[in-house]
């Protein structure tokens, strides 16, 4: 009798346990878990994304750099598709039957129940024709595409493209088929420009056919347009810079010294930004990627070059600050610096002081200055300690690190360290081993943006604002870092005689840029000729104007352009004249630049 009772109790126990589990599961499904409710909603409702227009972009004077134009994407839900004439649909879209089927089958593989975009940026006329076939399972979604009134500043503005899988996983805002800024301003200010999506809730029947808006749209949300941006760019000056750069490989950067605002950022070769919009975007992009001249590459921030003789000014200022050089010091130059392996120089009077050395771009003079800095054993116990301090002083001019501009692709450049030379020379090196640093060669690397910033530092006599390309954001303010002054390690009192040397370089007989003086501009400049192991020397010029209360600072870098006065200086001189006087009174010089084409075999199209 007792065993029977035990068996009865065991059966009751398991009945209670199982009942409890079922009750808990039922409670979870009905009360806690809303997935079935959401699935039921999905069977009754369809949520259609309403895309906001991206913020438009203006120049500093309110002229359009980037506008929006309306277009439509063709979307399909494969399970809702009824029999249709493939040839007719392909003809409406303007593609081959094979291409249409390829995109349609891709959507089927992705999801039979979810909407997929199969053709993008269709014009209004195409939308009207597609509306007639809405009941076949296809529909259109309104989008906006970019439009560029002036067809300039492609590298600066950047382009948009379809978001990738990695970004979709990282940011819940994006879904398959969304657009995102891929480069330039479009990328740097994506969060500002993209706006906020809206949603339209539609009722659908058991077959998924639309039955109208749910509850008269009370649950719909409207998209919030992206914020417009006013840039610091002067559209007419940008256009002129690109005109002067045509036929050359290089870049131009112009900065307003008193604010750090970038007036011009031109890279050559460039491209018509409209080529990366619309149906042919993919083909055009592929062609640009294959182009050996790399038109998508923004040389102003993504290239690192030796600064050449423009860097002599930095060494001179550091020598003055450290007390190992004086403006009045005289040094000889008989064809160059003759100690060790030597450094050649062009023919000019000798001996000369520092102001004259800046004007005449004497190599030997600044070799003496660099060695005085690095061999100063009264202050430094060894070469490593001296070069470490020299490097800190150089970096205070904005070299060797990212400036912090609003370009995400900005390079750091390079200022070599003592540890680098210790590895190269196994600890056995001296000031003669690194003498090329005296004239901006060797391991030194700077971006054209950093060079433009150096020109702004000289214009300001010792400080700079971080260069930036956005002046204001609709309903918002720019980053506070762009409003802060950054001082170099050199006292302001040492800048004036160096600036006078730059003025003499343009206005005094014997100056390396005297051919580009202008009676009304007051240009202060420094030429540079940077050695290039892949061909002819690079041409470099940096300047600012006028000498007092400067309004513009410019750097020009032309690959294979030879001497600084040959290619870069005339471009910079014309750009300054255009900005300050709004006219060109030297048409002969302008013709010289416009007719100048600098071809080099490595950039020729195959």
Q: What average pLDDT does the segment 149-168 reach?
A: 93
Q: What average pLDDT does the segment 360-371 reach?
A: 97
pLDDT of the residue at 529: 93
Q: Judge if 365 and 422 occupy the same domain.
A: yes
Position 135 pLDDT exceeds 90: no
Q: What average pLDDT does the segment 429-434 reach?
A: 96
- Read off the pLDDT band of 120 (50, 70, 90): confident
Q: What average pLDDT does the segment 256-280 reach?
A: 94
Q: What average pLDDT does the segment 69-98 reach?
A: 88
pLDDT of the residue at 1: 42
Q: What average pLDDT does the segment 551-569 reach?
A: 96
- Read off the pLDDT band of 157 (50, 70, 90): very high
Position 207 pLDDT exceeds 80: no
Q: Judge if 258 and 113 occupy the same domain.
A: no
Total count of domains within the chain: 2
Position 578 pLDDT exceeds 80: yes
Q: Judge if 181 and 283 occupy the same domain.
A: no
Percent of the chain topping pLDDT 70: 93
Position 85 pLDDT exceeds 80: yes
Find the domain containing 129 and state its range.
46-231
**SS3 (DSSP) at 277:** coil
| Residue that finishes a domain, picked among 213, 231, 249 | 231
Q: Compute the distance between CA of residue 266 and CA of residue 105 in angstroms, rounded to an integer.
A: 43
Residue 56 lies in a domain: yes
Give the closest residue to 512 by CA, choosing from 320, 345, 335, 336.
Answer: 345
Residue 149 lies in a domain: yes
Q: Judge if 162 and 294 occupy the same domain.
A: no
| Residue that finishes a domain, picked among 167, 197, 231 | 231
Q: What average pLDDT does the segment 55-83 reach?
A: 91
pLDDT of the residue at 216: 74
pLDDT of the residue at 39: 47
Mean pLDDT of the chain: 90
Q: Judge if 226 and 290 occupy the same domain.
A: no
| Residue that finishes a domain, picked among 231, 257, 274 | 231
Q: Judge if 136 and 162 occupy the same domain.
A: yes
Q: What average pLDDT does the segment 414-434 reach?
A: 95
pLDDT of the residue at 214: 76
Q: Judge if 227 and 239 occupy the same domain.
A: no
Q: Which is more confident, 204 or 337?
A: 337
Q: Judge if 227 and 261 occupy the same domain.
A: no
pLDDT of the residue at 601: 57
Q: What average pLDDT does the segment 21-29 reach?
A: 72
Q: What average pLDDT does the segment 97-125 reach?
A: 87
pLDDT of the residue at 9: 73
Q: The domain spanning residue 400 has which CATH number?
A: 3.40.710.10
Q: Are 373 and 390 in contact (CB under 8 A)?
A: yes
Residue 22 lies in a domain: no
Q: Compute the distance between CA of residue 508 and CA of residue 321 in angstroms, rounded to an integer.
A: 26
Residue 14 lies in a domain: no
pLDDT of the residue at 206: 62
Position 546 pLDDT exceeds 80: yes
**SS3 (DSSP) at 514:** helix
Look at 30-34, 261-265, 364-368 and tell me which has the smallest mean pLDDT. Answer: 30-34
Position 220 pLDDT exceeds 70: yes
Residue 351, CA distances (Å) to 313, 360, 503 in order: 18, 12, 20
Q: What average pLDDT does the segment 112-116 reach?
A: 79
pLDDT of the residue at 35: 52
Q: Judge if 183 and 266 occupy the same domain.
A: no
Position 93 pLDDT exceeds 80: yes
Q: Which is more confident, 541 or 36?
A: 541
What pTM was computed for the model?
0.87
Q: Judge if 211 and 246 occupy the same domain.
A: no
CB atoms within 10 A of CB 342: 15
pLDDT of the residue at 57: 97
Q: Compute the distance between CA of residue 267 and CA of residue 252 in angstroms, rounded to an integer.
A: 7
Position 230 pLDDT exceeds 90: yes
Q: What average pLDDT does the segment 39-51 reach?
A: 69
Q: Compute the distance between CA of residue 140 and CA of residue 132 in angstroms, rounded to an integer.
A: 11
In DSSP notation, 378-427 reads TT-SSHHHHHHHHHHHHHTTT-SS----S-TT----B---HHHHHHHHTT
- Read off the pLDDT band of 83 (50, 70, 90): confident
Q: Judge if 367 and 225 occupy the same domain.
A: no
Q: Compute the distance between CA of residue 3 and CA of residue 124 in angstroms, rounded to an integer.
A: 85
Give the closest residue to 361 by CA, choosing from 566, 509, 498, 528.
Answer: 528
């Amino acid at each position: 009798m007792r065993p029977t009772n035990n068996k009865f109790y065991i059966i009751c126990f398991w009945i209670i346990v199982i009942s409890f589990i079922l009750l808990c599961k039922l409670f979870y499904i009905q009360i806690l878990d809303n997935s079935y409710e959401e699935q039921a909603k999905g069977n009754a409702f369809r949520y259609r994304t309403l895309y906001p227009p991206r913020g438009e972009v203006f120049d500093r004077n309110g002229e359009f750099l980037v506008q929006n134009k309306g277009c439509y994407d063709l979307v399909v839900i494969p399970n809702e598709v009824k029999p249709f004439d493939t040839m007719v649909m392909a003809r409406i879209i303007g593609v081959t039957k094979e291409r249409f089927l390829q995109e349609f089958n891709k959507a089927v593989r992705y999801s039979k129940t979810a909407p997929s975009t199969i053709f993008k940026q269709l014009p209004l006329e195409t939308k009207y024709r597609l509306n007639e076939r809405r009941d076949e399972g296809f529909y259109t979604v309104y989008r906006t595409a970019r439009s560029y009134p002036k067809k300039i500043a492609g590298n600066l503005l950047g382009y948009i493209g379809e978001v990738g899988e990695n970004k979709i996983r990282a940011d819940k805002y994006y879904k398959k088929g969304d657009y995102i800024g891929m480069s330039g301003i479009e990328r740097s200010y994506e969060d500002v420009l993209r706006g906020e999506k809206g949603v339209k809730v539609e009722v659908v029947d058991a077959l998924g056919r639309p039955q109208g808006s749910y509850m008269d749209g009370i649950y719909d949300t409207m998209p919030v347009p992206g914020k417009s941006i006013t840039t610091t760019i002067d559209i007419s000056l940008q256009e002129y810079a690109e005109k002067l750069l045509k036929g050359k490989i290089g870049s131009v950067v112009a900065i307003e010294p008193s604010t750090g605002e970038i007036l011009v950022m031109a890279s050559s070769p460039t491209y018509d930004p409209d080529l990366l919009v619309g149906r042919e975007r993919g083909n055009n992009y592929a062609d640009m990627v294959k182009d050996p001249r790399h038109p998508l590459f923004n040389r102003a921030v993504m290239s690192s070059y030796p600064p050449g003789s423009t860097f002599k000014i930095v060494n001179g200022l550091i020598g003055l600050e450290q007390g190992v050089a004086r403006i009045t010091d005289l040094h000889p130059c008989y064809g160059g610096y003759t100690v060790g392996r030597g450094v050649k120089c062009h023919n000019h009077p000798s001996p000369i002081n520092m102001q004259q050395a800046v004007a005449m771009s004497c190599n030997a003079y600044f070799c003496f200055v660099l060695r005085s800095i690095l061999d100063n054993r009264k202050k430094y116990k060894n070469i490593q300690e001296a070069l470490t301090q020299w490097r800190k002083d150089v970096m205070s001019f904005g070299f060797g690190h990212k400036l912090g501009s609003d370009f995400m692709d900005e390079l750091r450049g390079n200022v070599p360290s003592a540890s680098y030379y210790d590895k190269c020379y196994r600890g056995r090196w001296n000031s003669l081993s690194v003498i090329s640093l005296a004239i901006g060669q060797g391991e030194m690397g700077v971006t054209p943006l950093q060079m433009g910033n150096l020109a702004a530092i000289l214009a300001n006599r010792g400080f700079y604002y971080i260069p930036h390309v956005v002046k204001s954001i609709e309903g918002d303010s720019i980053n506070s870092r762009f409003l802060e002054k950054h001082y170099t390690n050199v006292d302001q009192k040492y800048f004036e005689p160096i600036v006078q040397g730059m003025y003499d370089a343009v206005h005094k007989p014997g100056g390396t840029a005297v051919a580009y003086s202008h009676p009304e501009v007051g240009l202060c400049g420094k030429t540079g000729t940077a050695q290039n192991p892949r061909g002819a020397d690079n041409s470099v010029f940096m300047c600012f104007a006028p000498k007092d209360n400067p309004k513009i600072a410019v750097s020009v870098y032309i690959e294979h352009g030879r001497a600084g006065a040959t290619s870069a200086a005339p471009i910079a001189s014309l750009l300054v004249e255009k900005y300050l006087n709004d006219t060109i009174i030297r048409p002969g010089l302008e013709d010289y630049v416009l007719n100048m084409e600098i071809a080099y075999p490595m950039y020729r199209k195959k």
